[in-house]
Chains A and B, each alone.
Chain A
């Protein structure tokens, strides 16, 4: 509850300009790839060409001999822990006797020029004994199995639909490649300037691998050129630090685009078998599902991805009887981990495809069958968890269905599938409409101690009250810096707010992932502001703040805010937690594992050239409940961008693997949506407050990515009559 009465401009619920916007439009914002230190060296990485091989020996002689080379390091030079990992410490800093995926780092080089570093890396001779590679998840070693059992496992139903679905390996494809600068410090430690999603989890892993105490590994957030999950794991953090400590010189590393494809985890490819049983009037009786995820060579966040796929795997529907088994396996494919939607994306493609299939079997409208099963507040998840907050599933579906239909094509060739390629003048073009709705958990689950820290300082600057907000929360583009300032303005009634650069000199904020950072760091900033306000009022025995004045209970002015702070600045640091969550029962999958659920729905309208298999998405309509739009413009931006990534997965985005080898590590061959692929979007934002979250807000970033994929595919199915059980849908799937 806020006791600030007079609204100050730029607070919660408004869309003030981004504090980093001026720098970004001037080209002055320092991305991690722009960093520079005098006397710095450049790092380069030698990676395995094989998905699986034994390393018999590494000969660095020729690399060391190259003029300009200052260091060539292998696993033997890692002074601390040789492995790291987010959940399971299994990934070598540099390969130790074996490589388990194509692109695994084997050695790193520092040289006085990036070209020299790359040439030196190429001169390292690695003696590989190539081993057979496991590239099918079902043949791999089990990493985690998440079973969920509720109701009667042998339930039967009048109408049964079954299906097998596949999701390809998607890449986050942020535009700013992995990069950072490590600077050796006088105390024997290192200062690392890095684009990441979670400074403190990097700090811990880097310190462990360097054999240093955490306080000697100081991280500062450098400008982040997009993240989407790909920066949750380490890339070159340890490598650059090792090279810097070894050479005594600052070391910069920047991955090129091809290397970037090998430098971060990807979205788990999935194969999913579903069986839905329903009554003749379309009420779900049971769902049986088996989800198999390819975790790749190392664990990353696979165990949590599997839990999400399982717990969210039947969608936002009430189902009394559920048998769900989600499993993730180690293979010799690239490690898979976090990407926007995190396990919920794969399952949603399958369960929404099933809902369409069920509608068809029942002769019902696809939205109608969803409405008949839509969960609502008080519904019980298959984990037994009761959905406490608003769950406007039916409302969202009705909103996207009742939006006006997409306009008819104008006949302009540029608006045809194939566009300016002039592949059709309208012949063979069929329009289709499809729907999708999804569910996502917000923040970290399964009993994880999920917290965020904020330090807030209220002081006088030039005689005027000013607030400094300091957190370690990563601004990755989503607008978190704006939101932190908005919250401080609302809570303290002070317009002048500065958000300090995120670094590890303040406590952990947790990750900018799981749609959690406005909730978590926003919650921490609010709590710290409230602590500052309480201290301020206590100084003069005030009851509340109003328009820069401290008032008594009766509303009499006690003092000017400025005069109270004149006695000295007030600073408070608060560690803030969401309500606890609990582990899943390992046998039944029962448990209150999630803290908040979020929902979005999409309607896609497509034109398909059924002769050539070309698709043009004509329009996207989406509705999402965000609880409270803390920054409406930023909320809309998240929904636009998230929808685009879901459309990409539906129609074009896939890292193509053949026998453990990545066939398309470039933007020539890995396609992301351009503006010509993206239709105009209509966004309907609902604000149904969650009573447990700050301001009632709900995480926003991931839901739009989840439901746009099945909506687009359903529209293509409607146009073509094809089953389309795999994404991305390719032209040959349509014409084949």
Chain B
């Protein structure tokens, strides 16, 4: 049994047949081929599957694809605009905010949401924002610096 859903992903409308049990992360990866959203733990702990749903970060392994019906999803593939990296993406490149890169898309989506809502966050606010997501490579220090770099870029822009 499948259900027809329509989901706007990175501004583009997709209509697809999904099983009701299909998780949003698998819908994005397997049906839409958007493999920039990763899958890391099955238990909503690691946060590498973080995307935005109507602008708010969610762990896409905790959302059924059918729950995204008639909603808007943002993934890492939508961060770059008109061939220009988002300042958050630039920050992760500039500040060595990634090593293996598996957590990076999810971290960046949360960082984008943070800066959209709080353009000049304190270090504590940055740390709190990404506290639901794991990174095993960086010890988080350079992730914080990457987000700070992006915030500075945007404030002075």
Contacts and interface: CB of A to CB of B under 8 A. Distances in A.
A637 B36 contact: no
Interface stretch (A18-26, A233-241, A493-501): A18-26
Q: Say what secondary structure dominates the interface of chain B.
A: loop
A347 B104 CA distance: 34
A495 B38 CA distance: 33
A666 B100 contact: no
B92 interface: yes
Contact of A26 (B76, B130, B136, B140): B76
A674 B100 CA distance: 17
A173 B134 CA distance: 10
Contacts of A25: 76, 79, 85, 89-90, 92-93, 98, 101, 104, 108
Interface in A652-698: 666-668, 672-676, 678, 680-681
A371 B133 CA distance: 40
A681 B100 CA distance: 20
A478 interface: yes
Contacts of A228: 136
Contacts of A414: 124, 128
| Residue among B35, B89, B137 facing the most chain A CB atoms (10 A cut-off) | B137
B77 A681 contact: no
A681 B141 contact: yes
B57 interface: no
Given A25-B108, A226-B100, A414-B128, A175 B136 contact: yes
A36 B35 CA distance: 10
B142 interface: yes
A297 B29 CA distance: 36
B134 A637 contact: no
Given A24-B101, A25-B108, A644 B139 contact: yes
Interface residues of A, number: 58
| Residue among A22, A176, A672, A673 facing the most chain B CB atoms (10 A cut-off) | A176
Contacts of B89: 25-26
A675 B127 contact: yes
Interface residues of B, number: 56
Interface stretch (A27-35, A146-154, A484-492, A722-730): A27-35
B100 A224 contact: yes
Nearest to A635: B96
Given A29-B101, A258-B42, A667 B134 contact: yes
Contacts of B132: 674
Contact of A175 (B29, B37, B48, B96): B48
8 contacts: A22-B93, A25-B76, A225-B101, A637-B99, A666-B41, A667-B46, A675-B131, A678-B139
Interface of A: 15, 17-18, 20-22, 24-31, 33-34, 36, 173-177, 223-228, 256-258, 412, 414, 476-479, 633-634, 636-637, 640-645, 666-668, 672-676, 678, 680-681
Interface of B: 29, 33-43, 45-46, 48, 75-77, 79-80, 85, 89-90, 92-96, 98-105, 108, 123-124, 127-128, 130-144
